[in-house]
Structure 1
């Protein structure tokens, strides 16, 4: 059974049920039942119209559940009975589901979980393992999210920016458990790009591809982190880079610049450099300036300070860092790197140790601790 194929069919099947009058929670449960039945039946007797089969089975499950619940019996007035089996409508409801799952009433964590369940087709257990939380906790989160969006009507265009931020959150979770969330985010963003012609959707897809292309080079065989400047660029995925650059160039040509396109442009400049010392830092600073005009984000200013240091020297980088709040995530790590570049090893070592205490994961903590130890050893020589 092709699990990826099943998951790719999930959003369109769910969308059809919702459009026919099923509330989101009941429709989603019915689709999950249909997927389980498909896993059981299809290997021995695969249907000609896979989506049509899933729609028919899911609709039957929904009607069975509706009839069994007296409080929901009124929903039968919305339907004319079971639809006639046959080819399903060509209308693609995937986009509607993206907007539903990224509804502004939902928290970021709930929106991500609901997107992975309803659009991604992942099971609650898979999502829980990916986020390293108990299955019961994730089930409650998804149930609350479904209740929140129950009965939501789409009489206004959805917010593409919100959908993209949810997908970006999924991508940044990377890999944990038995689900590769970075790869899943790329798959879902490809799906969104096929449903909507929007330069920022293309920009996000390009950004994901360019970052994901460096994935295998980011860690050493012992699992330790390898900084960008030290990565073996021969291990980067050149096909993913070429695809990402092509998508980005087409998006930029439309002259509707957005933050994900600007971030992708920065990633493309890193990917284009044959070696770290050949990176075009001046142009990267210019793209960070564009990004600041779009977002004025303190995190962007933090990253820009590093680029300024590479382009104009560590003192210039420290001057760019000075106005920023030292409580920002990664501020101590950036400050440590810039002070080391400026020759102040004592301050750099102290800041690396401080950054290690604030690190969000064990791998980053170990890397920063090693940096502090390295500088302290140099100072004792």
Structure 2
């Protein structure tokens, strides 16, 4: 290069899956039959009415121009209606929801909108790597807050209650939790909202897994009393609607928070393709029947993943939620990457090392449910 990259890139590495998938593609090109059990990439189709809506609208002449930065009214109303059905929360479609090109985009927009250099951001010690990566890129200071494994990976309240919040602007949370599958708990949400109101910081809840294998009624952080003053919530069609590649999500919250995020978004993209937004509107009309069928499939796959992990010698909690199984590695291995590499190079099976989600994940691995039963059977037979 004739110029140097930005110094902000010194704070981040290329996303782990970007690197590992490149290696897996090379192995497959060499003729090695690698089974990728690592990524939460749903392999099913969206509902037929979703595909039909895309096809029917895409051939209409007026559909191909620029759209509103804030999304079309039909989609925003569908987001509001679905949130009311799923979580019992009421939102204003024009003021309190903002469609996004996937919720991962929202993590960047939120960080750019609210963080200045030197601000502090609280991130769970086991978390989606993007929370810390984007905070680092905007030169905020990341503080890792502990989760208590013995208490189903809920926050360590003693740590939070003793923390100096004078420079804290945001706290990221994600329940049902990825990667551990820990459930959302009413008490946890209530305590966090009370803490945020007391200490005056913003809770950013990433909520894409609430409809996948729930142990109880799905829960939104916005359903807690007084939450709108201190909460914004991300959600997505990727996991629950088999639409990961469509890149459609949203952020919900109080009008002033949404307007602030829109200031960033409107300078970064020019809206989404209208036929995709109309198809997403149809997806958000899906109710019990869709999710029952989806979860029946994942329940069967989870049983096979348990069998696979049993054969590997891992231990795990059967009460996990979401698209993955989080499991502790056998004592024979000092770290998760040793087991992952052995499976990849000896058995041509890829699973995710827990260490990519934080230091506390060093003794864990994560296995995805986003593979057909025949693929999981083949993995079991290889082990």
User: Shared fold (TM-score greater than 0.5)?
Assistant: no
TM-score under structure 1 normalisation? 0.23
Structure number with the higher helix fraction is: 1
Larger radius of gyration: 1
TM-score under structure 2 normalisation? 0.22
Q: Give the structure, 1 or 2, with the largest relative contact order (CA under 8 Å, sep 6 or more).
A: 2
